């Protein structure tokens, strides 16, 4: 239990304070801490902004690119305002003696610096490293274009695409997922696209916007990771949203996007660059089609790849009616080969693909089978998931011996 005597003493002394249910406080702090880097050259960015508004505490954490805002409702003085070290507060809420409630008070030292005290389970922790709220970087909420989208669908789209997000900083415009609306026939859809130049994934969702007036944007990798971490925390707390409200503002020199998850809001700068014309990469005339078992194909790729220590080693695939030959050659170690029985329609094709990318592309297939469509050994392969028609994968070929 919280030491209510100390909390009452703080109220009597008119020290800004708050008394919050611990599980609510822990969730809000965990969410707000997500973008905060453990090691920071700018001290204020190691802290969370904490502001009382009478009805609860509003927390905010940032790395200047991604901001997470969360709140914990409960009695909280409206003049409570400071920044508190994120990692220390988060660690205390995880490890301190169990308690139903948590008390927080903010006092001021003789030199005017804020000082935080947290009471957990009858133990009072005084935290160093607090800084004035006036020093905390200001962030705004994008508000020019707004739409709502099914949370499960949106996260599924990001999940299937994020494996193809590039980590090569020189091509910064590929360091995220391209989000936009596009017409397919007479129907408009939301489309997520990611590519690193060697593979590409697209994923379509039902359109929920305003007649295609929303601007296309590139959601950065860090924001995507933060979204997944936030959703995991909310699912664990049984507070995951069914709908995500998205806001976008492309004005000025700092285009930004926000995602309202109900219990928290994530605001991110978007990547200010031009995503390549991905439609030119999607094969339209791959008439040779193989239907393959996901488990058997994935295991075969893994086994023949064992001969090489290089993740990027090409796997040679030889397609023929009823049979797939598979081989991998390493100049240092030797070679490996195997074969699978498959369903195949078309002319024989020999092609090479990155074995690691092949396995990653198969990892989230909804059913037990997938379809690979080919033109010839020098053309990209089109990969389809019969259990998930919204998915489309493209793999660039590699030279094989």
Q: 391-395 and 323-330 as β-strands: parallel, antiparallel, unpaired? A: unpaired
pLDDT the model gives residue 376: 93
3-state secondary structure of 305: helix
pLDDT digits (tens, 9 = 90+) for 205-253: 999 988 777 889 999 999 999 999 999 999 999 999 999 999 998 766 6
Q: At what angle do helices 22-33 and 86-95 cross, to 10 degrees?
A: 140
The CATH code that applies to domain 145-279 is: 3.10.150.10
Q: Answer yes or no: are the C-beta atoms of 351 and 395 closer than 8 Å.
A: no
Tens place of pLDDT per residue across the chain (401 aa): 445 455 555 554 568 999 999 999 999 999 999 999 988 889 999 999 999 999 999 999 999 999 999 999 999 999 999 999 999 999 999 999 999 999 999 998 877 789 999 999 999 999 999 999 999 999 888 877 889 999 999 999 999 999 999 999 899 999 999 999 999 888 999 999 999 999 999 999 999 988 777 889 999 999 999 999 999 999 999 999 999 999 998 766 678 999 999 999 999 999 999 999 999 999 988 999 999 999 999 999 999 999 987 767 899 999 999 999 999 998 888 999 999 999 999 999 999 999 999 999 998 888 899 999 999 999 999 999 999 999 999 999 998 76
Q: What does the pLDDT look like over 123-137, one tens digit per residue?
A: 999 999 999 999 999
The count of other CB atoms within 10 Å of the CB of residue 177 is 27
Instruction: Decide: residue 6, CB within 10 A, 0-12 exposed, 13-18 middle, 19+ buried.
Output: middle
CATH superfamily of 282-395: DNA Polymerase III, subunit A, domain 2 (3.10.150.10)
Task: Return the pLDDT at 14.
Answer: 66
Cα-Cα-Cα-Cα torsion 254, 260, 266, 272, nearest 10 degrees, comes to -30
CA distance 308 to 302: 10
Q: Which two structure tokens, joined as six digits, stand for 61?
A: 């954490």
Q: Any idea which residue has 């002319």 for tokens?
A: 347
CA–CA distance, 69 with 147 (Å, rounded to integer) = 19
* Whole-number CA gyration radius for the chain: 26
Residue 354, beta-bridge partner list: 314
Query: In what helix (H) or strand (E) does residue 302 lie, and over which residues does it extend?
Result: helix 294-305
Which of 179, 223, 186 minimizes the C-alpha distance to 202? 179
Q: Which fold has domain 4-135?
A: DNA Polymerase III; Chain A, domain 2 (3.10.150)
Measure Cα distances from 105 to 124, 212, 377 in Å. 10, 49, 68
Residue 170, CB-side half-sphere exposure with 13 Å CA sphere = 1
CATH 3.10.150.10 residue ranges in the chain?
Answer: 4-135, 145-279, 282-395
Q: What secondary structure does DSSP assign to 90-126, as a single string?
A: HHHHHHSPP-SEEEEEEEE-TTS-EEEEEEETTEEEE
pTM of the model: 0.91
d(C-alpha 62, C-alpha 68), whole Å: 6
Q: What is the DSSP letter of 153?
A: H
- Given the DSSP bridges, would you call strands 187-195 and 199-206 parallel, antiparallel or unpaired? antiparallel
Instruction: Identify the three-state secondary structure at position 12.
Output: helix
Q: Which pLDDT score is estimated for 205?
A: 96
Q: At what angle do helices 151-161 and 221-236 cross, to 10 degrees?
A: 130
Judge contact between 300 and 359, C-beta under 8 A: no
* pLDDT at 142 (0 to 100): 81
Q: Are 373 and 289 in contact (CB under 8 A)?
A: yes
pLDDT of residue 12: 47
Q: Give yes or no for a contact between 225 and 175, defined as CB atoms under 8 angstroms apart.
A: no
């Amino acid at each position: 239990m919280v030491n209510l005597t100390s909390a009452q003493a703080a109220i009597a002394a008119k020290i800004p304070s708050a008394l919050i249910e611990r599980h609510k406080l822990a969730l809000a702090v965990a969410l707000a801490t997500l973008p905060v880097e453990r090691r920071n050259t700018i001290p204020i960015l190691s802290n969370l902004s904490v502001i009382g508004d009478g009805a609860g505490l509003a927390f905010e954490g940032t790395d200047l690119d991604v901001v997470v805002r969360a709140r914990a409702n409960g009695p909280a003085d409206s003049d409570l305002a400071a920044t508190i070290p994120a990692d220390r507060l988060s660690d205390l809420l995880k490890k301190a003696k169990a308690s139903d409630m948590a008390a927080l008070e903010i006092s001021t030292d003789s030199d005017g610096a804020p000082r935080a005290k947290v009471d957990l389970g009858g133990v009072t922790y005084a935290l160093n490293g607090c800084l004035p709220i006036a020093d905390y970087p200001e962030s705004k909420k994008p508000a020019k274009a707004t739409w709502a989208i099914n949370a499960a669908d949106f996260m599924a789209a990001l999940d299937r695409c994020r494996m193809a997000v590039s980590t090569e900083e020189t091509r910064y415009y590929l360091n995220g997922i391209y989000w936009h609306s596009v017409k397919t026939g007479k129907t408009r859809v939301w489309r997520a696209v990611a590519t690193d130049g060697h593979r590409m994934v697209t994923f379509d969702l039902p359109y929920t916007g305003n007649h295609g007036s929303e601007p296309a944007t590139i959601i950065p990798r860090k924001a995507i990771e933060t979204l997944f971490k936030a959703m995991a925390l909310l699912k664990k707390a049984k507070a995951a949203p069914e709908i995500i409200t998205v806001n976008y503002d492309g004005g000025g020199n700092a285009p930004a996007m926000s995602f309202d998850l109900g219990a928290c809001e994530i605001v991110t700068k978007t990547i200010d660059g031009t995503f390549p014309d991905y439609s030119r990469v999607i094969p339209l005339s791959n008439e040779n089609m193989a239907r393959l078992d996901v488990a058997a194909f994935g295991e075969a790729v893994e086994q023949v790849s064992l001969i090489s220590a290089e993740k990027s080693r090409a796997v040679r695939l030889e397609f023929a009616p009823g049979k797939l030959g598979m081989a991998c050659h390493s100049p240092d170690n030797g070679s490996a080969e195997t074969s699978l029985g498959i369903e195949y329609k078309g002319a024989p094709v020999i092609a090479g693909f990155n074995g690691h990318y092949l396995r990653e592309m198969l990892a989230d297939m909804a059913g037990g089978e997938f379809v690979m469509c080919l033109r010839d050994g020098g053309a990209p392969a089109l990969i389809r998931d019969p259990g998930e028609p919204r998915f489309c994968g493209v793999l660039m070929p590699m030279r094989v011996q």
